[in-house]
A and B are shown apart, each in its own frame.
Chain A
Amino acid sequence: MHKLNRAKLLLGAPLLALLLTGAQAAQAGVLEKVKAHGSVRCGVAGDKPGFSLIDDKGRWTGMDVDLCRAVAAAVLGDADKVEYLTTTAKNRFTALASGEIDILSRAASWTAERIANLGVDFTTVWFYDGQGFMTHAADGIQKLTDLDGATFCLSPGTTSEQNLEDYFGRRGLTYKTVVIEKSPELYAAFQRGRCNAISNDSSGLAARLALMNNPKDYALLPEVISKEPLGAFVAQGDTVWRNIVTWTAYALMTGEELGVTSDNVDELRGNKTASTDIARLLGTEGTIGKSFGLDSDWAYRALKQVGNYAQIYERNLGQQTALNIPRGLNRSWKDHGLMYAPPIR
């Protein structure tokens, strides 16, 4: 019988050791971990056309994906050195806060509550959105208040449930909800008439509308009931990493502003007569990259391998794609949009 104990001890000892040593491990920065690991671990949604989706060849595509690729290019020199993890609406912030992923690029909204309560930090707005509504054209809905008593299809764990309650509950209107996590089921439910309206980020709705084979049967309502600034989150407490992700995004926006594309970036870098702004962006002047803990070519690599913001947008959501979502608020500030990157200098 003594052996029983020994066996249990043998089983238990490594477990204890693991628990104890883990507790004493020093907290390394995300940048060091990423470099040691050789890849950026990027949490994505995985089922949002135009934002993060797998194509037939098994490649990841989308706006959210390209942000992670740009960070990988800036940090590791290769945009393909990204590991994608599909996160759910439920586990996304836990995964980030516990260090399972380095970036959460999942079209999540920036809200005060998330920053205050979830142990995560926002980087910068990558896509300006708002909660919109799609209805069945046959119902003849003109405005939101016509939907008194209607049933709404929603996805869970997002801000949309609360927004809806804020809008309808305040006005004393009644409504019902059907909350489904998996987006094929959610849209099937709406299209089959389970719900009178589906409420989601307007960009997502527009994208889906473009994909339906009978888009005339559905109508997008003009009203948008919330502000949804979407972008990447990082774990709280690591300013170095947060800066890298934030400024990589800014570099891509600046690229659009200065007319630097993946096609002309090499030429512009060699061109001594290019403006100082371009020289600073591409690292031929100044030491911005080094101050971030990277080298001076960081933005050059991101632009070269992924393209600037306009290119990314066109590739994933633009007129050439099936989605064809107008840029709207996401135009550069020079074109009266909201995309305004702070100066890189």
Chain B
Amino acid sequence: MTAMNHALAVPLAPPRLPRLQRALAWSRSHLFPSVGHGLLTLSVLALLCWCVPAALNWLVFDATFVGSSAKDCNPGGACWLPITQRWNLFVYGFYPQAEQWRVSLALMLAGAAFVLLFFKRLDRRLLLGYLALLPIVMWWLLKGGAGLPEVSSTKFAGMLVTVFLGTAGMIFALPLGILLALGRRSKLPVVRMLCVLYIELVRSVPVISLLFMASLMIQLFLPPDSAFDILLRVQLVLILFTAAYMAETLRGGLQNLPKGQYEAAMALGFGYWKTMGQIILPQVLKQSIAPLLTQFIGLFKETTLVMIVGVLDIVGIAMSTAVAPEWVEYGHEIYVFLAIYFFVICFALSRYARHLEQRMEQSRS
């Protein structure tokens, strides 16, 4: 207890203290506030000193980045050649070489959507327009038609699939999610019941079972000979799945909105759709940007499951690399690469979501 008091007292000391002394005071209060904590700190430090250099050595310093075949690999460290040699495959899949700029452009456009969210003063209509057009433009760029040579979706693989499934899934799920959220709060009991049933049903089953549905069942429910390809079916299922979760996120936003907003709109003689479209939804969507972004991270991670039904997303390509005769020994590197890839993207996005959330809270208070 006395140690704690001291710890509290230290930061209140005059700020003119020399640097060394300040560092000591800081470490005393933050690293060694008591004997127990001191021991803990020391043992953790020892552990870090032991494993961080070893990990760095393996990952970076002793690792092989340049080379053309497994013979160039340094046995002491990681061998990143399966990734560097197959980089094109990992990013563009089987996309024809001459058309790969289209994939790069589509990926950049998708990335720009997140950047746009950052600008506070951006016209809302512009943002919504961009988001609404994005999947259509991406689709056109990737699939072709109307001036661009067509590319079959069987050529889609790797990062391209992961990003496409995530982005298009999120954006297409948004309108459906809004409808479901409104339906769940509808005054018509039949509509409400149907929406509740749908949302709860989808939310209570694992994504894998839905993906199996996409892979094995959807064709059975379509007329003979009208089956569309697995990528689209998986995309459809991911949209339907995301919409159910999104409906719940948006419902929270709808509930949090002051009742006065609805009443004011009614008083102005606005009809249901006008009230929702012009007054309620813009506010709800604005407030839900951060949770929706968090949901996107979830969806982005869930897309890895599509490899279970045979879609070659980035995990699928990684697994196929792990059986290739030349790279069969380098499974560890391949999975570490996957972990780093997802970590970087999801971590950056989650930081970003937190930042947007904080800004929203500041503007509210």
Chain A in direct contact with chain B (Cβ < 8 angstroms): yes
Q: Which chain B residues lie closer than 8 Å to A7 at the CB level?
A: 273
Is residue B329 contacting chain A, with contact meaning CB distance below 8 A?
yes
Residues of chain B in range 326-342 having any CB-CB distance to chain A below 8 Å: 326, 328-329, 331
B155 to chain A: closest residue by CB:
A83
Q: A25's contact among B223, B273, B321, B331, by CB below 8 Å, is which?
A: B223
Residues of chain A in range 255-285 having any CB-CB distance to chain B below 8 Å: none
Is residue B272 contacting chain A, with contact meaning CB distance below 8 A?
yes
Q: A100's contact among B191, B227, B331, by CB below 8 Å, is which?
A: B227
Is residue A58 contacting chain B, with contact meaning CB distance below 8 A?
yes
Is residue B322 contacting chain A, with contact meaning CB distance below 8 A?
yes
Is residue A55 contacting chain B, with contact meaning CB distance below 8 A?
yes
What is the CA–CA distance of A85 and B331 in the complex, to the nearest angstrom? 23
B219–A94 CB distance below 8 A? yes
What's the minimum C-beta distance from B144 to chain A, rounded to whole angstroms?
13
What's the minimum C-beta distance from A158 to chain B, rounded to whole angstroms?
15
A56–B86 CB distance below 8 A? yes
Is residue A54 contacting chain B, with contact meaning CB distance below 8 A?
yes
Per-residue CB contact flags for chain A residues 301-327 toward chain B (1 = under 8 Å, else 0) read: 000000000000000000000110000
A39-B152, A322-B325 given; A85·B310 CB < 8 A: yes
Is residue B320 contacting chain A, with contact meaning CB distance below 8 A?
yes
What is the CA–CA distance of A10 and B260 in the complex, to the nearest angstrom? 32
Q: Which chain A residues lie closer than 8 Å to B325 at the CB level?
A: 49, 53, 211, 322-323
What's the minimum C-beta distance from B363 to chain A, rounded to whole angstroms?
33
A88–B309 CB distance below 8 A? yes
Q: Which chain A residues lie closer than 8 Å to B89 at the CB level?
A: 54, 56-58
A1-B272, A184-B331 given; A91·B216 CB < 8 A: yes
B227–A98 CB distance below 8 A? yes
Q: B323's contact among A27, A100, A184, by CB below 8 Å, is which?
A: A184
B312–A46 CB distance below 8 A? yes
Is residue A136 contacting chain B, with contact meaning CB distance below 8 A?
no
B176 to chain A: closest residue by CB:
A11
What's the minimum C-beta distance from B359 to chain A, rounded to whole angstroms?
34
Is residue A138 contacting chain B, with contact meaning CB distance below 8 A?
no
Is residue B47 contacting chain A, with contact meaning CB distance below 8 A?
no
Q: A90's contact among B216, B312, B322, by CB below 8 Å, is which?
A: B216
Is residue A172 contacting chain B, with contact meaning CB distance below 8 A?
no
What's the minimum C-beta distance from B174 to chain A, rounded to whole angstroms?
15
A50 to chain B: closest residue by CB:
B325
Q: Which chain B residues lie closer than 8 Å to A213 at the CB level?
A: 329
Q: How many chain A residues touch B (Cβ–Cβ < 8 Å)?
A: 47
A49-B325, A58-B89, A322-B325 given; A100·B94 CB < 8 A: no
Q: Which chain A residues lie closer than 8 Å to B88 at the CB level?
A: 57-58
B271–A99 CB distance below 8 A? no
Q: Which chain B residues lie closer than 8 Å to A99 at the CB level?
A: 224-225, 227
Q: How many chain B residues touch A (Cβ–Cβ < 8 Å)?
A: 44
A88-B215, A91-B309 given; A23·B324 CB < 8 A: no
Is residue B20 contacting chain A, with contact meaning CB distance below 8 A?
no
B225–A184 CB distance below 8 A? no
B85–A56 CB distance below 8 A? yes
What's the minimum C-beta distance from B130 to chain A, rounded to whole angstroms?
23
Is residue A331 contacting chain B, with contact meaning CB distance below 8 A?
no
B308–A88 CB distance below 8 A? yes
Per-residue CB contact flags for chain A residues 18-52 toward chain B (1 = under 8 Å, else 0) read: 11001101011000000000010100001111000
B310–A88 CB distance below 8 A? yes
B310–A184 CB distance below 8 A? no
A56-B85, A88-B215 given; A100·B93 CB < 8 A: no
Residues of chain B in range 208-232 having any CB-CB distance to chain A below 8 Å: 212, 215-216, 219-220, 222-227, 229-230
A52 to chain B: closest residue by CB:
B320
A3–B227 CB distance below 8 A? no
A22–B272 CB distance below 8 A? no
A54–B324 CB distance below 8 A? yes
Residues of chain A in range 82-129 having any CB-CB distance to chain B below 8 Å: 83-88, 90-91, 94-95, 98-100
Is residue B57 contacting chain A, with contact meaning CB distance below 8 A?
no
What is the CA–CA distance of A23 and B222 in the complex, to the nearest angstrom? 8
A25–B324 CB distance below 8 A? no
A22–B319 CB distance below 8 A? no
What's the minimum C-beta distance from A118 to chain B, rounded to whole angstroms?
12
* Besides A49-B325, A54-B324, A95-B230, 7 new A-B residue pairs in contact (Cβ under 8 A), listed by A number: A1-B271, A4-B272, A19-B223, A58-B86, A90-B215, A98-B227, A323-B325
For the complex of A and B, list the 8 residue pairs with the smallest distance between their C-beta atoms, beginning with the closest.
A22-B223, A98-B219, A22-B226, A83-B154, A184-B322, A23-B223, A88-B310, A86-B310
Between A and B, 25 residue pairs with Cβ closer than 8 Å are A22-B223, A25-B223, A25-B226, A41-B154, A46-B312, A47-B320, A53-B323, A53-B325, A54-B89, A54-B320, A54-B321, A56-B86, A56-B326, A58-B88, A83-B154, A85-B229, A86-B311, A86-B312, A90-B212, A94-B215, A94-B216, A100-B229, A184-B323, A187-B323, A212-B328
